[in-house]
Amino acid sequence: MDHLLPPDIVEAGHSFPAELAACGDLDALLRLKGAYVGREGSHAARLMELLKLAPKEQKRDLGAAINALKQQWEEGLKSRQFEIETKKKNRKALAASWDPSLPPPVPAQGALNPLNRLMDRLVEVFRPLGFHVEEGPEIETEAHNFDGLNIPEDHPAKASSDTFYLAAHPDLLLRTHTSPVQVRTLLRVAQDLGIRGGVRFLSPGRVYRKDEIDPTHSPMFHQVEGMLVGHGIGMQHLKGTLEYALRALFGPHTEIRLRPSYFPFVEPGCEVDVSCPLCAARGCRVCKGSGWVEILGAGLIHPKVLEYAGIDPVEWSGWAFGMGVERMAMMLSQTPDLRLFFENDQRFLKAMGGLD
Ligand code: DAH
């Protein structure tokens, strides 16, 4: 029906929405209103004149077109007016509520991830016993990750289906446990310093295995390794130290239990359970009704591991352990899905404030 209207008004109809959006205040809006629907000289007024002069047979169609246009303009003007007034009101309310004597808002502060906090706590538990922190690289040699730990050539952990090897350097891999830090530390201590006062360290860090990600598995996770080498060290020292450390972590009434197990780098080897800290060993979902939860692997250092580093296994002996950090953090915080620790969901991380 546009052909019945003067071209400049058709044009105006097209540019109306943009002009409306450009009105930043009520004055500008009033001017636009005057130009489009004002009593005199406006587009609408001109259209009414036109309608009066139109031949009878055009009046119906022309009238309908004019009404549609006017209605569109009036509605647009009304809703823009509402928007401008609301904005103004909000601004006023904000200004009235602003108290310049109040201190500025505190910017959001970050915090350590719960896994790091748990590892820090373990380090603090062992520090008074003379343990310091040793670090090792996440990209390791096969020698440190396997050979120096008496892990045989045909061990399943060495398979490329279990371990991430570096394509360009087939003898390099992402370490599958923190145990290679044992090899590095023994080699360094034996070669550079002489072993003298023995070795005591804790080594927290990331490790990698080819696992599909699910609520209890991740191709990247954390372990804490512990090692002590000295004169006449036996199982009793391992048990006593772990009892002290695990009671510091889980509470003074915690009991521990050693079960025989096999790891190539210890002899004898064991798995260590703690009495379930969540149900005081009465039996619950976390301990699957048994009252015990498996916490770490440990044992007396295999003579081959000491020999590899050039340390005499007749003169020196020691123990080592390795524990999984996610498992422990999940248990302590009753988190059912370990992915939550890596996803940076602030709601979860805030709720984890109570972990330590
Ligand atoms: N490295 C072992 C693992 O990843 C854990 C472990 C077991 C570490 C016994 C030790 C140990 O130091 O003595 O499964």
225 C-beta closer than 6 A to ligand 1: yes
Q: What is the pLDDT of residue 355?
A: 44
Strand 169-174: give its sheet, edge to edge: 139-141, 169-174, 165-166
- To which H or E segment does residue 116 belong? helix 114-126
**CATH match of 114-355 with 3.40.605.10:** no
- pLDDT for residue 108: 76
Q: Is 80 in the pocket of ligand 1 (CB under 6 A)?
A: no
Report the nearest atom of ligand 1 relative to the CA of 179. 1
Ligand 1 atom 3: the closest Cα is on which residue?
A: 177
Q: What is the pLDDT of residue 177?
A: 98
From 306, 321, 327, give the residue whose CB has the most ligand 1 atoms within 8 Å, as the site to mutate: 321
Residue owning the nearest CA to atom 8 of ligand 1: 322
From residue 311, how far is each of 182, 186, 288, 305 by CA, in Å? Answer: 13, 8, 43, 9
pLDDT at 193: 65
pLDDT of 111 reads: 80
> On the CB side of 243, how many CA atoms lie within 13 Å of its CA?
11
pLDDT at res. 354: 45
Count the helix, strand and coil residues of the chain and give each as a percent rounded to the nearest 5.
45, 20, 35
Q: Which atom of ligand 1 is nearest to the CA of 207?
A: 4
Whole-model pTM? 0.72
Give the residue, by CA position, lying nearest to ligand 1 atom 5.
322
E-assigned strand segments in 14-72:
none
Task: Check residue 212 and give its pLDDT.
Answer: 93
The per-residue pLDDT string of the chain (356 residues; one tens digit each, 9 = 90 and over) reads 567 788 888 888 889 999 999 999 999 999 999 999 999 889 999 989 988 998 999 889 889 989 989 999 999 999 999 999 999 999 999 888 888 898 988 887 778 899 999 999 999 999 999 999 999 999 999 999 999 999 999 999 898 889 999 999 989 999 999 999 999 999 999 887 677 788 999 999 999 999 999 998 999 999 999 999 999 999 999 999 999 999 999 999 999 999 999 999 999 999 999 999 888 889 998 889 999 999 999 999 999 999 999 999 999 999 999 999 999 999 888 898 999 999 988 888 888 874 44
Choice from 183, 259, 265 to test ligand 1 binding pocket (greatest atom count within 8 A of CB): 265
Q: How far is residue 214's CA from residue 259's CA, in Å, rounded to a whole number? A: 28
Answer for the pair 318, 301: CB distance below 8 angstroms, yes or no: yes
For position 1, what pLDDT does the model report?
59
Would the CB of 298 count as within 6 Å of ligand 1?
yes
| Atom in ligand 1 nearest the alpha carbon of residue 266 | 13
| Separation of CA 224 and ligand 1 centre (Å) | 9
Q: What pLDDT is attached to residue 334?
A: 87
Cβ(177) to ligand 1 under 6 A? yes
